Structure 1
């Protein structure tokens, strides 16, 4: 009986220790075990973002090819959906999570864009003469792209590409970094003024002045406005009407990245550039247009990518850290070391 009791106690202790070694992730109020993706700095290109609430897309290099892969946080399964002999320099995931844009380049003066579905089937291809591209995908209409093509002297041309029409049309803008607002309207900076312009009618209107930077979605935008003492952040609707405003907590706090989870909720990362916190990032959540919840994930870099359900975000320069927005807890899902990357499994994207 004594030996049996000691055996049971030992089993219970092992079970507790094994549980503590797993990374917790809260999804739909259930605590799930998060698998860790282990690869090396040499093989990993970058993390692209969420495909759904459990699968993350990333790019690595293997056997002279770049691979667009999907990692399942629950099962640890890896599924390759696209490969290319050229270097994959960027992957955009459309807000619908049904299409991905893969950018590659064979020369320094040309860029290739390939649009695929989540199974890797090619939907469209386009080549643009450019030494550097900035691409904005329309959240409301997946067939439309804004493409800013830069030349070596940093002169530029902005194009509207319509996949359904296979048309590439130049647009004359004073700002090379326009953003979409709805299906056919653009917002961009002229000096420090945000201008909204219709692609159909060319009608222009000024939304707000004295702006440092901004992020836009289909129906709203977040702007950073300098103040006498500390920066002010403001959420505006599509007509420029203020929905919510708050002051930065730190004098050096500036907007880094923004996720619009829905019409009334946003997640924003900010950068702290003071001497004692240089490069560190903080996060602000605006809920129902009013409540503000702050997080300090203690990671460097303000990149931000949130799951479709808006409950979990990837943060950090590498987006290697998960943060649960309900609890503020963080866990590292991506581990970079000098070991061989995990062996690819035959599993496709595993659904809950």
Structure 2
């Protein structure tokens, strides 16, 4: 059980995230975004950064602007960078180390996950102008959170102790409230505006699969949605559940089944799956909710994730027509982050590259200097 938490905590650290706004001497970023219609990856201007202070690109503000984080002399600074004219502006600064930054589904609020020590973690909430509008501090070793898809100012937050005990809270930024709630398992995600979903792992029982359950946040009623799920991921109005046989040598593939937020089956596909000591490992993935296209990496064969050296294909899968397309062949399972319009993606362990998903091109975004 503890090993499972360690895996997910590790995946949390690489979750990659967002913030917003352009220099007062420039045009409004939201207005500038309208001028990206004829821009291509060839028009992107790479930025020169100091290797000693650059931490990571974080996320997209819009189709034109991205955020990156620098750490210097104990200060974390978030910058907004214009991909097409190369200008940047300081957006937010904090004496706490910023681990991640993430936008809510409507991109009207942003959360910074910061940490002062191993015993304390904080969430700082910003508006689109970079103003801090709320903050929450938990005596926790690690934090996991999930935005409500229909209520922009609400999210659930789980804080973990060093022994991986956990407490879950409902946070409302607008009302400045923090309510402790009783969810049987950590890593819950919103299914819709009123219900959350989670895998119901049995304590002290080693298994690679568990029932996928939902809980109504108002009534507390729980319902089993599907048994035998190895892992799942929640996107706006769409849930992905991966099923695979854990004890059959004949079973080569996992089934990627997509459901609507009302639990109606949509499309599905099969692909080889990798596992580790605590369960099935879902490669990095993103979902374009506008076009209903899922992006992920597919290994060439099943096996142990820690020993697999076979490479991956980066693919797209359309929930409209059920067709899969190969975008890049023989690549590594590396983090990436879709632009709002789904045409480009930041790519790399520091999101230091940019890729054109329509033209199947990649370019360096950050030039490092010592």
Q: How many aligned positions are there?
A: 311
Taking structure 1 as reference, are residues 229 and 300 closer, same or farther at Cα in structure 2, changes over 3 Å only?
closer
Superposition CA RMSD, Å: 2.4
* Alignment correspondent of 2:327: 295
Taking structure 1 as reference, are residues 271 and 84 closer, same or farther at Cα in structure 2, changes over 3 Å only?
farther
Matched, 1:184 2:194: yes
* Alignment correspondent of 2:12: none
Displacement of 1:275: 3.6
Counterpart secondary structure, 2:252: coil
Contact 1:208 1:240 in 2 (8 A): no
More displaced, 294-303 or 56-65? 294-303
Matched, 1:312 2:344: yes
Choose between structure 1 and 2 for higher RCO, CA contacts under 8 A separated by at least 6 residues: 1
Cα deviation 1:57-84 (Å, max 9, x = unaligned): 1111235421011111101111111011
Displacement of 1:124: 1.0
* Alignment correspondent of 2:318: 286
Taking structure 1 as reference, are residues 234 and 324 closer, same or farther at Cα in structure 2, changes over 3 Å only?
same
* Alignment correspondent of 2:165: 155
* Alignment correspondent of 1:327: 359
Displacement of 1:35: 0.7
Structure 2: which 5+ residue stretches go unaligned?
Answer: 1-34, 202-209, 246-250, 276-280, 300-304
Q: Distance in 2 between matches of 1:113 and 1:276?
A: 37
* Alignment correspondent of 1:245: 268
* Alignment correspondent of 2:257: 234
Taking structure 1 as reference, are residues 289 and 199 closer, same or farther at Cα in structure 2, changes over 3 Å only?
farther
What is the TM-score when the length of structure 1 is the normalising length? 0.81
Q: Runs of at least 4 residues of structure 1 off by over 6 A?
A: none
**Residue number among 302, 305, 310 corresponding to 1:277 in the alignment:** 310
* Alignment correspondent of 1:349: none
Q: Distance in 2 between matches of 1:251 and 1:213?
A: 11
Displacement of 1:299: 4.6
Counterpart secondary structure, 1:210: strand
Cα deviation 1:201-257 (Å, max 9, x = unaligned): 223222222111111134220111115221121111224332101111x45495223
What is the TM-score when the length of structure 2 is the normalising length? 0.77
Contact 1:321 1:330 in 2 (8 A): yes
Matched, 1:268 2:295: yes
* Alignment correspondent of 1:342: none
**Residue number among 234, 238, 241 corresponding to 1:223 in the alignment:** 241
> In the TM superposition, what are the counterparts of 1:42-191 in structure 2 within 5 Å?
42-191=52-201
Matched, 1:210 2:228: yes
Q: Distance in 1 between matches of 2:211 and 2:111?
A: 31
* Alignment correspondent of 1:38: 48
Counterpart secondary structure, 1:310: coil
Taking structure 1 as reference, are residues 271 and 58 closer, same or farther at Cα in structure 2, changes over 3 Å only?
farther
Q: Distance in 2 between matches of 1:38 and 1:277?
A: 33
* Alignment correspondent of 1:199: 217
Displacement of 1:264: 5.5
Matched, 1:258 2:276: no
Taking structure 1 as reference, are residues 335 and 285 closer, same or farther at Cα in structure 2, changes over 3 Å only?
farther
More displaced, 289-298 or 237-246? 289-298
Q: Distance in 2 between matches of 1:251 and 1:126?
A: 37
